């Protein structure tokens, strides 16, 4: 009897060499082995571009089923409700597995996979792999301009946001210098930098320097294209675990990361189911909205379109009447 194995090969561009591929592989294995969510199984990989392809790559098993976006509009509401509830269960499983820092997952001991595998195998190592948090790999990474400053892992939210703001201010200072030399509008850049400086000064009052926090892996792209469904209408796999980080509970619970294709009622159901399975979820959202707003300001501080909103939020906080971005 012949067994037909189907594989998928992901080839990475030269972005975050080694880290992106190593983290992707470790995250897939952690989610599959420890969390118990069906994800593609890694067969073998190369974290170096020093090979015949000239790129890093991962060979993984092709998951059964087809992407949900192929027929989402065709299925009836009861089937959609069932799928949304299944997604909430997956989210709760991720929420249950906590870490003690902010960063991406890696193998504690780098794995060397055999390059001549012809069928899926368990790890070449006999024992279960151990995982650690390491440098963050982001879809929109903050690249560090100073070699001595790490890009994670960060022990808490204060260190994570301090790094991001410090990077932003440093980059803005360089842009201002270049703008002055070129006769550009340095005043626009200066007022953006003034907001970043204010946020940095405010940071310790909202995020204590020595705070101990729990974190969890947050899949931030539960799009219909990343959800595989089998012939019975059940979820058979969740894909696209690249650049997934362990984030603080207040940040991971910030919003339902459900595809915008889903209507508002299904999104409400998704949030309600998640909160039913994990009551702490709602508490994190309601208790830490100031932290969430602060991080949102950090994220948009270099975007001129948000200047007035961030300035109003900072002025309000200084005056003692902070409003929530969620209410705007």
Report in angstroms the alpha-carbon separations of 285 from 70, 91, 212, 238. 33, 15, 18, 25
List, in order, residues 6 or more apart from 270 with CB less than 8 Å away: 84, 87, 88, 256, 258, 262
Give the angle 214-216-220 at the CA atoms, nearest 5°.
140
Per-residue pLDDT of the chain (328 residues; tens, 9 = 90+): 566 678 999 998 877 889 999 999 999 999 999 999 999 999 999 999 999 999 999 999 998 889 998 888 888 989 999 999 999 899 889 999 999 999 999 999 876 554 443 333 343 344 567 999 999 987 664 444 443 444 889 999 999 999 999 988 998 888 888 887 766 678 888 888 999 999 999 999 999 999 999 999 988 887 888 999 998 889 999 999 998 999 999 988 765 556 555 677 787 888 888 888 888 877 787 788 899 999 999 999 988 889 999 999 999 998 887 777 766 5
Give the SS3 label for residue 126. coil
CA dihedral (69, 73, 75, 77) in degrees, to 10, reads 110
Q: In the chain, which segments carry CATH 3.90.1200? A: 7-137+213-287
Full-model pTM? 0.86
- pLDDT reported for residue 64: 87
- pLDDT reported for residue 261: 59
Q: Which of 217, 38, 39 minimizes the C-alpha distance to 131?
A: 217
Six token digits for residue 94: 């991720």
Question: In whole angstroms, how large is the CA radius of gyration of the chain?
Answer: 22
Give the class (CATH, top level) of 7-137+213-287: alpha beta
Six token digits for residue 292: 């969430």
Q: Which of 190, 20, 204, 172 minimizes the C-alpha distance to 105?
A: 20
How many angstroms separate the CA atoms of 153 and 105, rounded?
10
- pLDDT reported for residue 13: 82
Report in angstroms the alpha-carbon separations of 98 from 34, 62, 137. 12, 29, 19
- pLDDT reported for residue 72: 87
- pLDDT reported for residue 143: 47
């Amino acid at each position: 009897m012949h067994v037909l194995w189907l594989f998928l090969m992901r080839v990475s561009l030269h972005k975050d060499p080694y880290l992106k591929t190593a983290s992707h592989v470790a995250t897939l294995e952690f989610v599959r082995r420890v969390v118990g969510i069906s994800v593609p199984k890694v067969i073998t990989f190369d974290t170096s571009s020093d090979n015949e392809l000239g790129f890093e790559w991962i060979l993984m098993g092709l998951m059964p089923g087809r992407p949900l976006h192929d027929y989402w509009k065709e299925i009836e509401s009861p089937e959609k409700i069932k799928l949304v509830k299944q997604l909430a269960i997956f989210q709760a499983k991720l929420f249950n597995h906590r870490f003690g820092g902010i960063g991406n997952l890696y193998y504690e001991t780098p794995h060397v996979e055999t390059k001549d595998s012809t069928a899926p195998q368990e790890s070449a190592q006999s024992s279960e792999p151990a995982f650690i948090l390491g440098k963050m790999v982001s879809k929109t990474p903050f690249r560090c301009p100073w070699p001595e400053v790490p890009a994670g892992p960060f022990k808490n939210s204060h260190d994570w946001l301090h790094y991001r703001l410090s990077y932003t201010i440093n980059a803005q200072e360089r842009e201002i210098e270049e703008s002055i030399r070129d006769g550009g509008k340095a005043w626009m850049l200066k007022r953006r930098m003034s907001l970043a400086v204010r946020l940095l000064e405010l940071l310790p009052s909202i995020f204590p320097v020595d705070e101990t926090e729990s974190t969890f892996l947050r899949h931030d792209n539960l799009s219909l294209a990343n959800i595989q469904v089998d012939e019975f209408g059940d979820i058979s796999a969740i894909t696209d675990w690249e650049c997934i980080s362990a984030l603080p509970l207040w940040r991971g619970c910030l919003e339902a990361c459900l595809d915008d294709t889903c209507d508002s009622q299904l999104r409400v159901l998704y949030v309600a189911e998640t909160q039913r399975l994990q009551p702490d979820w709602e508490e994190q959202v309601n208790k830490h909205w100031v932290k969430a707003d602060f991080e949102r300001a950090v994220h948009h501080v270099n975007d001129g379109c948000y200047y007035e909103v961030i300035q109003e939020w900072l002025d309000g906080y200084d005056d003692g009447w902070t409003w929530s971005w969620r209410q705007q």
